[in-house]
Amino acid sequence: MDPFHNELKKEFQLERMILFSDAVFAIAITLLVIEIKVPELAEEHFTEKELLKSLGHLMPKIVGFLISFFLIGNYWMVHHRLFGYVVNYNKRLLWINLLFLLSIVLMPFSTGIFGEYSTPQGLYLKTPLIIYVLNICFIGFMLYRLWSYISNPVNQLAEHLPHPALVRVAKIRALLVPAIFLLSIPVSFIEPPFLSRYVFLLVFPIMRIIQKRADKKLKFQPQS
């Protein structure tokens, strides 16, 4: 086996880890929809009104599904961008990545609990919200670990990393998302209880602003 071929094999091993992660992401993001069960009315209740009513009951689940879909989609993109710099791997990286995947795999479950208890009555319960937020914190923390471990030059895993200031932005952002979600817990004590759910929606514009600012400051090109 010549060195060129050997290099190819190493690259394939790295790609395999990445494509395995992609498969886990793809399954987790698609399984989310399974939690939204089709409402099954008894035939004597087959009226437009009854159906719309049961679809209305599904609304909090659908909102929960959408939030989680965009979160997982966003985390996939960050994973995609981050591993764009990776040129090597080691056992520790495999484990950190596996723990990151664990945090993603738990999302259909925590989204399920979160959606199930987002009904008017369920909104007074703090536990579903706390479970969901803890899941996000777990993802955020593992992402922070991934960024730290990969960008650490000692580990010799990455090449062509962006400017250190941008790596710092990425690491801060990994922790900022959970911080915003954590905010929703104290907010959940304020009436009306559904306010806490709207805190989540702050995540997307805030992340956008941070990203744009960082992009502008350093004229960063994601694909270079």
* Least distance CB 195 / a second copy (angstroms): 19
| Residue whose structure tokens are 């090109």 | 221
Is the CB of residue 35 less than 8 Å from the CB of residue 67?
Answer: no
The stretch among 37-45, 137-145, 171-179, 180-188 that binds a second copy (CB under 8 A) is 37-45
Degrees to nearest 5, angle at CA 98 with 93 and 103: 130
Beta bridge partners of 158: 86
Q: Phi, psi (5° rounding) for residue 140?
A: -60, -40
Beta bridge partners of 86: 158
First-to-last alpha carbon distance for the chain, in angstroms, is: 32
Number of residues that bind a second copy (CB under 8 A): 74
Nearer CB in complex with a second copy: 119/148: 119
Cis, bond preceding 192 (omega within 30 deg of 0): yes
Nearer CB in complex with a second copy: 78/179: 78
Q: What is the crossing angle of helices 164-187 and 127-151, to 10°?
A: 170
Residue 201 contacts a second copy per CB under 8 A: no
The stretch among 28-36, 132-140, 141-149, 182-190 that binds a second copy (CB under 8 A) is 28-36
Residue 198 contacts a second copy per CB under 8 A: no
The stretch among 24-32, 137-145, 167-175, 180-188 that binds a second copy (CB under 8 A) is 24-32
Contacts with a second copy in 67-126 (CB under 8 A)? Answer: 69-70, 73, 76-77, 80, 84, 87-91, 94, 98, 101-102, 105-106, 108-109, 112-113, 116-117, 119, 121-122, 124-126
- What per-residue string of b and e applies to 95-107 under the rule 16 or more CB within 10 Å gives b? ebbeebbebbebb
Nearer CB in complex with a second copy: 115/140: 115
Residue 152 contacts a second copy per CB under 8 A: no
* Least distance CB 197 / a second copy (angstroms): 17
Nearer CB in complex with a second copy: 6/152: 6
CA pair distance 196, 217, nearest whole angstrom: 33
